[in-house]
A and B are shown apart, each in its own frame.
Chain A
Amino acid sequence: MPRQKRLRKIVAPPEFSGYKPFGKGARSSGEVKLLYEEYEAIKLADYDMMYHGEAAELMGVSRPTFARIYESARQKVAKAFVESKTLQTSYGSAWLEKGWFGCSVCKSKFTLPSTHESHICPICKSGNIGLIDN
């Protein structure tokens, strides 16, 4: 069984749910899911111009792990651009320090403190959880 992923801390989820191509060459040819932590990696490295080491510390992961997340993010964005696919954000393995999460199965709401490794619903144990917009 693979090792359980450590949660990656994000400051805030993306302000958008996704991006769609438009114009002459645009066509509906599927979607690419960009995880919250991948969005955060692009934001920290390319928008805030942080060094990978600093960004990794902020996200609570090692520098090699950050590099893998960042590389995955860039590959997904490149794929969406080149293949005219919709870019859609998806929760992934992120946690927001003071955010509330909701379970789509039992409808409970809960927080995920940094000391709690598990990112499943505490009531019904479902993995179908997502950040609730404030």
Chain B
Amino acid sequence: MISVISCTSNNLDDSKLDKRFGRAQWFCLHNSADNSVQFEKNRFLDEENIGLLVIEEFIKRKADRIISGDFGAKVQPVLHENNVQMVIFPPDFIMLSELLDKLNS
């Protein structure tokens, strides 16, 4: 299962979870098959309708789950239609590494 997590940097040690999905600087892609992670820079930051562009990109790449702090009204129906799970991470979680430890357990 491929999870996309919005985060603040591409450094596993100090990256924090980013509560914004569309405007996050980076995305961490976690593959539960082998617990591998890869980082991707958000290349849509200067565009309009960022959230929709980002999710369309990850839907094309067969993401199963998006983990972030919030999901806007425009992106929710698209994710529902494409059977992509939306997850709002726990309020106590701050660091990306905390979340990845839970996903890997």
A interface residues with partner B (beta carbon < 8 Å):
97-98, 103, 106-116, 122-125
In the complex, what distance in Å separates the CA atom of A123 from the CA atom of B68? 12
**Given A98-B80, A111-B86, A113-B83, do A123 and B102 touch, yes or no (CB 8 Å)?**
yes
Q: Out of B79, B80, B87, B105, name the residue touching A122 (CB < 8 Å).
A: B87
Chain B interface (Cβ < 8 Å from any Cβ of A): 3, 64-65, 67, 79-80, 83-92, 99, 102-103, 105
| A124 vs B93: C-alpha distance when bound (angstroms) | 12
Contacts A108-B89, A110-B88 given; does A123 touch B83 at CB 8 Å? no
Partner pick for A111 among B85, B89, B103, CB 8 A cutoff: B85
Chain A residue at minimum C-beta to C-beta distance from B77: A98
A109 touches B85 (CB 8 A): no
